[in-house]
Each structure stands twice: as C-alpha cells, then as structure tokens.
Chains A and B, each alone.
Chain A
C-alpha cells in the first residue's frame, strides 16, 4: 500500500482538496465552486454558525490537516466570528497549500466563484506534488458507526465488523468506535475491557454523562426506523451497536479531534461536557463520521440494517448491510452483504475477513460504493468539550511518566 506523506509523519489514502465555508452565508458560493470544479477529489466542508465555538474551530483545523487532505480553499463571507486567519495559518503550517477568499472583498458571489475555481486549480496542482510512500496496515486509523440499525444489525454486520476490528488491532492499526449514547446499557461490560481500572471508571462516567444528556434532551439515540426494524429499546440497540467494537482490550477514551496516541481500540466520547447547551449530541450519523475523521480516521466502516446510503467528505465510507432483505433492495448502495449470515450462506468470520479485504482495497485506491456514487456528506454543529483526563489514555500517561 502507498500513502500520501504529510509533514506530521501521518500518511493519507486520499489527496482531497477541501473547499470550506466558515458560515452558512458563504455556503452557496463554496458549493458552486465545488460543483463547477466537478472533481470527486474537490470536496465541500463547512461550519454554518456565525458565533464563535472552540469545538468547531478545533474540528475544522483537525479536518483541514487530516492525512487524506492535500490542501484547502477557505471561503469566508467576511463578518462571521470564525477565526479564518488561524485556520489558514494552521493549514499553511502543515505544509499544505491554502487560499483564502473573502466574499465581501472579492466582489460578491460571481466574482468569488470565479476566483475560487482558480484557487482550486492552484491548490490542486500544489497538492498533486506530495510524495507517495509505502504504508502499512498498522498505520491505518479506522472508525466504525451504525446507522439505520434494525434487529439484524447486532447479529450480522456489527459483530462482523467486530471481527474485522480485531484483525486490524492485531496488525497494529488504530480502531475507533463511538456514540456513547448508543452504548447505554453496555457500560459495565465495556468498563471491564479497559486496559486499566482507572480507564474503566472514566468509561462508566462517560456513559452516565450520555444517559443524563440524552434524558435532558428528551429522546434517546433511537429513531422510529429502528423500531420498525425490530429494535424495541435503547439498551437493545446499544448491545447490538457495541458488538462493532470486537473483543480487543479498550486502550483509551478520546474526544472529537483527539488523535489516538498509538495502535489499539479506542472509544470516542461524542457527548458534550457540562450542562446541555447546544442541543442533541449528534443530530445525524454524518456528525459522528465527521468527529471520527477529526480523530484521524482514514476510512469508516458503516453498518446498516434499514439501509443508509450516506458517505462522507474526506474519508471513504464502506457500507456493510446487516439485513438480507435490505441488501437486495439497496444492493447498489452496499459494499458488503452481511445479511448472508442470517440466511446461512456465510459465517461471521468469513464476512469479517471480507470487510478487512474490502477495506484494504479501498485503502489502496479503489472507490467505495458511496464514494463512487458521489456521496460527500459533511455536517458540523455547535458543541463544547473539556479535554480528556490523564486516566483516559494510559499509554500516553505511561510515556510521559
């Protein structure tokens, strides 16, 4: 395998040029630039808010300097709070080409779109010169998520991803699972897998935080379609979701934007700290995908029972379908049919191996199905977090000591 070598030593499996809007008011202009560039590797990201938010700034910086990103065109309206100079400086400091366009200074919509297209050409050409070097499985960061889960998810696709995760972890890769609100009910068994008792305590506390937060919001992380598909309660959905994590020890607890310090399995805490302020922790699946990408995920293993079709900007999304009926109905949206397990045509181990192989093919440059269909969803909203405590990353604490 070959990767795009970045100045921080990380390697990318894609070389995307991002066009980023810094407030909703610049969204249309940025989208037009991407539409007119008409290149699957020129992708739209952005933050809609006009008010400042440290989390959003950190996420945008993490994504702009993600190993799959080669350079960036930043589109600002001009009066929003987002610190555009700090973002551009962070991108430039990472050795990546960056261009800034301020709509109020460029002469409005049409002029900025024209200049934006020229800026994309310039950035793309500079990004194209990046060195490609050999890359091992142990250098990969892989995230997993489930969306549109049903009663089959926890029996087929999720444990099959768990098998693939075990294999990746055994080969030294970094694996991330998440959505602590969808792990309510699993806290005790999960804490027992932590590499230290102190990390186990942190895991219990973060699931308790998720339960408090979701209770304050009035709804669990549970959609009506989950019930249509046979799931009845939050904890039933959680137990199925949890099986994506496989059976490796849990090496650490991270928050959005934290890049894990080494190989192993990590739990991503996506629920904000402090009193509930900005609404639901993750308003849709893509918000979670964006957070895993901000933690350095090169690709995402996405399991679905009801049939999600989404992909993502920056990192390829691989779809693993849990339900054989859905796998037939939405065949053209799925990379792997884990529904075969339910029909006795494949075992969990076989599908786990297939997921591993498909992932390596996508790492090698093959387009995942959602990528080929042009899915490049991206969503980022307001949140606030405190940094993780020392007990959350025992390996790092050990190195420091």
Chain B
C-alpha cells in the first residue's frame, strides 16, 4: 500500500504512513515523488516545490508557514516550518537563561 497519505485534496504536504528511505520512489496517485531524505512515520514530505512563506496545509487547514524554500519530496518539519501562533520548543528550552 502507499506509504504517503494525502489527507485532503488541498494539502501541499503528505504524511508518511511508514518509515521511508532517502531516494525511495513514492507513488501518490498519478504523482511520483522521490524522497529527498529519510523520513520517519508520522512526519511530513513536501508534495511539490514551494517557496519560503508558503502556508503549509494538512487536513486542508493551515498548520504554519515555510521558513525556507523546499523541494518536492523534502522532509517538512521544524527546520523549515514554523507556527503562525506559538513557537515550538525543544528539550533545550529549560536551559535557556
């Protein structure tokens, strides 16, 4: 079965239903996408090339904006996507002065 889920027709990211390997060719209906890097289950991949500032859509709804340009098949996560509401923190947050 397909390893990439398109949750809504308007979405510009796809969700991995299994771990995928760098270079893997992934089928999404008629579209073929090559994974630019290894991506874990539950993470997101760009459906097409998109410029910085693009609103990322999942479930057909905005989940934030791209902070850099991405290629089709690229992993979309905290390194290139940021909230339009409240910034996300990591485990080093508690060490900040």
Residues of A within 8 A of B (CB): 150-152, 154-155, 184-186, 189, 211, 214-215, 219-220, 222, 224, 227, 229-236, 239-240, 305, 323-325, 342-344
Question: Which of B38-59 touch A at CB < 8 Å?
Answer: 40-44, 58-59
Chain A residues contacting B40 (CB-CB under 8 Å) are: 230
Task: Tell me the dominant secondary structure on chain A's binding face.
Answer: loop
When C-beta atoms are compared, the residue in chain A nearest to B83 turns out to be A233
A211, B85: Cβ atoms under 8 Å? yes
Residues of B within 8 A of A (CB): 1, 5, 7, 15-18, 40-44, 58-59, 61-64, 76-78, 81-91, 93
Task: Tell me the dominant secondary structure on chain B's binding face.
Answer: loop
B44, A230: Cβ atoms under 8 Å? yes
Q: Known contacts A229-B42, A232-B44; is A239 also within 8 Å of B88 by CB?
A: no
When C-beta atoms are compared, the residue in chain B nearest to A228 turns out to be B40
Contact of A185 among B18, B63, B77 (CB under 8 A): B63
Give complex CA distance A150, B44 in Å: 11
When C-beta atoms are compared, the residue in chain B nearest to A229 turns out to be B42
Q: Known contacts A185-B63, A232-B77; is A224 also within 8 Å of B42 by CB?
A: no
A233, B88: Cβ atoms under 8 Å? yes
Chain A residues contacting B41 (CB-CB under 8 Å) are: 151-152, 230, 323-325, 342
Give complex CA distance A151, B41 in Å: 8
Give complex CA distance A342, B42 in Å: 10
Q: Known contacts A184-B86, A224-B91, A344-B1; is A232 also within 8 Å of B63 by CB?
A: yes
Chain B residues contacting A240 (CB-CB under 8 Å) are: 59
Which 10 pairs, one residue from A and one from B, show the smallest C-beta to C-beta distance? Answer: A151-B42, A230-B42, A220-B86, A236-B63, A230-B43, A233-B83, A233-B64, A224-B91, A152-B42, A150-B42
Chain B residues contacting A233 (CB-CB under 8 Å) are: 63-64, 81-85, 88
Contact of B64 among A186, A229, A236 (CB under 8 A): A236
Q: Known contacts A232-B64, A236-B58; is A220 also within 8 Å of B87 by CB?
A: yes
